[in-house]
């Protein structure tokens, strides 16, 4: 392989460049998620939003694990440490997130910008919504702050990686209700 072509794919230390790792990760995720979708359709599995989100969580974690193992790094290098503090950190992070969202909702109601309406779903509706949004939170954490972000940080630095991932996060949510 000539030196110019080699420099496109490999860094100075002879390792695959982070941009190629990111593209490989995205290709693996998109390909496997498409395959899972086709299998679900073929076997006429009923769509469940919560189940679909938890499958995506498992998929992004599995691919992340495979990619860090290919690099001979531990999965914990992505920030997923199941040490003695993880349960407390999960609880505190969840409570902080619920608190921030609650304050924003209360502020919106207090300002008259929105009004609250009972959904009539009761406790089971609240529980299924909580299970769904917990899966969404895990997926977004793994997808936007996991392997992709860590490799982008190595390639571009923290600030550029943070800006690019914030842009991707916004674009990923563009179709959400209320986004203009």
Q: What is the pLDDT along the chain (180 residues), one digit of tens a residue?
A: 687 777 888 888 878 888 899 999 999 999 999 998 888 888 887 777 888 889 999 999 999 999 999 999 998 888 887 788 888 988 898 899 889 989 998 999 999 888 878 777 788 888 888 888 889 988 998 999 999 999 999 989 999 999 999 999 999 888 888 776
Q: In degrees rounded to 5, what are phi and psi of residue 16?
A: -60, 135
pTM of the complete model beyond 0.85: no
């Amino acid at each position: 392989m000539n030196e110019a072509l080699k420099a496109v794919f490999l860094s100075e230390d002879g390792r695959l460049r982070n941009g190629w790792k990111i593209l490989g990760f995205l290709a693996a995720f998109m390909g496997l998620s498409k395959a899972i979708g086709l299998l679900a359709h073929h076997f006429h599995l009923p769509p469940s939003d919560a189940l679909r989100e938890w499958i995506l969580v498992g998929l992004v974690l599995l691919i992340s694990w495979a990619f860090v193992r290919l690099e001979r790094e531990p999965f914990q290098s992505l920030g997923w440490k199941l040490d003695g503090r993880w349960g407390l950190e999960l609880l505190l992070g969840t409570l902080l997130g619920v608190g921030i969202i609650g304050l924003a909702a209360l502020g919106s109601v207090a300002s008259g910008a929105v009004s609250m309406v009972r959904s009539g779903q009761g406790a089971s509706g609240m529980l299924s919504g909580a299970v769904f949004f917990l899966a969404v939170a895990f997926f977004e954490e793994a997808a936007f702050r996991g392997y992709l972000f860590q490799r982008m940080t190595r390639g571009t630095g923290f600030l550029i990686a943070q800006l690019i991932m914030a842009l991707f996060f916004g674009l990923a949510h563009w179709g959400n209700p209320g986004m203009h």
